[in-house]
Structure 1
Amino acid sequence: MSELPPGGVVPELFRGLFDDAAVFPPGNLPVADAVPAHLVHRAAWYAEAVGPLLCGAGRLGELAAAAAGGAAVTDAASAGGSAAGSAAAGGTAGAGDAPLRIGLVLPGGSAELAPALAAAAPFDLTGVELATRDAAEAIAELDRLLPPHVPAAVELPRELLRGDGLDAVLDALVDSPYRAKFRTGGLVAEAFPDEAELAAFLTGCAQRGLPYKCTAGLHNAVRHTDRETGFEHHGFLNVLLAAQETDPATAAAVLAERDGEVLAKAVRALTDRQVTVIRNSFTAFGTCSIAEPLGDLAALGLLSSPAPQHQEDR
């Protein structure tokens, strides 16, 4: 990756990385606004970086109503969706309808799975994220109910992933067709794991060849302390670079790096093989803002919008 693609081309390292969690905290965008805004992203030059629109089981009715409204992408842009293109290195979104791809987020466990799958039938379901306290039970229910073409990720509470609990859960998942899911932030300081805890999860997955996704707290590219809350946020570039490590101490050191230029230089030095290894491990993360991470990549020189066309070229 020493030579980045030209402007307007999303590098392989970032393709499909940003799942659209606009309706979840702290963004809390109303579903009626999130649908047209998501269509803006899906029509923009950076669309290859954007994953599905994530939706909780309890809001599928709202989602269906919003989708049935047939809001045009141009309406979303006028309502604020164009800000995403602006933040993402100056790009703008084009008009036109886009298929509504969704990811189901099921915080209530396996009991939500069957009714949520039925309610999601009108949509293009690209994945299920199932929270549980019992990995074996969740795997069994996914095996029983999930359509074969739909991938899934299983999330257990962080307190169950400490010590021997982490190995037990990862061992169960590695023998299944499902990814792991790990929570990297939230609305309180305690929701943010430190470098050692996150490194243990990342390297445990890397050692097993187990893919995973992350959620919460990764809006920015580089590790930092939030000025308003004082919370310690992991950077998604840190996590990407740490995803190729199998040694916990090495991964923790990468997660602790706060210099964006150091991280950007490391990204540029990645080989195609390293990029493949990283993205086979760290598949995506949920972010309530698509504009913010893309803007960070642009500021670090890792992503750029298409070159403007001159009048005579149009």
Structure 2
Amino acid sequence: MSALLAGLVDDAGLFPPTALPPAGAVARHRRDRAAAHPMHTLRFLVPVGRLEEVRAELGPDDRLLLGLIADAAHPGDPGDRLRAALETVAADDRLETALVEVPLAVFGGDPATAVPAALAAGAAAGVPVFLEPAAPSGIGALLTAVAGAPGVGAKLRCGGVRAELFPTPAEVLHFIVSCARAGVPFKATAGLHHAVRHRDPETVFTHHGYLNLLLAAARAAAGPGAPAPVLDALRTESADTLTRELAALSGPAAAAARALFVSYGSCSTATPVSEARTLLGTA
């Protein structure tokens, strides 16, 4: 189980609903780096438009491994902004780019034109680039556009601040199985606040769980031609079902699941760890 959970959680503290101010997000990340829990990637997710805010909070001894996210926060060419941010990071000894994430909507949305533009801007860093379609249903066109490109993954948005931002289990199924069939890894973001699929009593949004996605990835990696078991994994709200099957995965099956499902961004870095400890008995 430890191999299945290792390096699963990226730090998305700057993002809603937690939306910590840069000072608070950097302070929390320092504590997480010192603790170095194995579930944490110790990657700090930063939109390009907020990079300078984060840099302003750093001391000379800070070291941040960044997931740099292209955004449309400022006017001008998004590719130029991303390239400039990558150059800023490369020139700052306190920072290192681990990966780049690009919502294709920033580059116009149409994969046929947005994917080449996004890859041209992000490839200079020499790190993996994860591309997010405008909606999960756009994964097919995205995968067609990236066919054969090295170091490219997909990004799945699992929720947000409005109900319509939460994809259905069938939409998530299509995304995961498509990536498995294409041999393209994916990251996930937003909405994955807890381990198991559930309805939030305050917002009444139904959230996907990170254990649901792990089991779905394991089943898809084992046999992407049989989608029904993957859909069952995404739909279940039974912690017992999820933990029992995940605990029974062989080492190669767990490795295949994680090769497909790389990590996810969580605005809370404590909740995934505490829920894994409660449900799975991890340290």
TM-score normalised by the chain length of structure 2: 0.87
* Residue 186 (str. 1) matches residue 155 (str. 2): no
1:117 is aligned, of 83, 86, 102, to 86
- Answer yes or no: is the 8 Å Cα contact 1:264–1:302 preserved in 2: no
Instruction: Return the offset for 1:16.
Output: 1.6
Residue-by-residue CA offset, 1:233-254 (whole Å, 9 max, x unaligned): 0000000110132133221111
Against the structure 1 CA distance between its residues 197 and 154, is the aligned structure 2 distance closer, same or farther, given a 3 Å change threshold?
A: same
Other-structure match for 2:148: 175
2:65 is aligned, of 101, 121, 126, to 101
RMSD, aligned CA: 1.8
Q: Equivalent residue of 2:161, what SS?
A: coil
Distance, in Å, in 2 between the alignment partners of 1:194 and 1:143 is 29
Other-structure match for 2:132: 155
Distance, in Å, in 2 between the alignment partners of 1:210 and 1:248 is 17
- Answer yes or no: is the 8 Å Cα contact 2:119–2:129 preserved in 1: no
Q: Which has the larger radius of gyration?
A: 1
Q: Equivalent residue of 1:217, what SS?
A: coil
Distance, in Å, in 2 between the alignment partners of 1:195 and 1:203 is 12
Distance, in Å, in 1 between the alignment partners of 2:203 and 2:185 is 31
* Residue 281 (str. 1) matches residue 254 (str. 2): no
- Answer yes or no: is the 8 Å Cα contact 2:9–2:39 preserved in 1: no
Q: Equivalent residue of 1:229, what SS?
A: coil
Instruction: Return the offset for 1:98.
Output: 5.8
Instruction: Return the offset for 1:303.
Output: 1.2
Structure with the bigger RCO (C-alpha within 8 Å, sep 6+) is: 1
Instruction: Return the offset for 1:175.
Output: 2.0
* Gap runs ≥5 in structure 1: 2-10, 71-96, 305-314
Letter in 2 for 1:176: A
- Answer yes or no: is the 8 Å Cα contact 1:19–1:287 preserved in 2: yes
- Answer yes or no: is the 8 Å Cα contact 1:19–1:285 preserved in 2: yes
Letter in 2 for 1:265: R
TM-score normalised by the chain length of structure 1: 0.79
- Answer yes or no: is the 8 Å Cα contact 1:218–1:287 preserved in 2: yes
- Answer yes or no: is the 8 Å Cα contact 2:11–2:265 preserved in 1: yes
* Gap runs ≥5 in structure 2: 73-77
Identical aligned pairs, as a percentage? 38
Instruction: Return the offset for 1:139.
Output: 3.6
- Answer yes or no: is the 8 Å Cα contact 1:35–1:66 preserved in 2: yes
Against the structure 1 CA distance between its residues 166 and 34, is the aligned structure 2 distance closer, same or farther, given a 3 Å change threshold?
A: closer
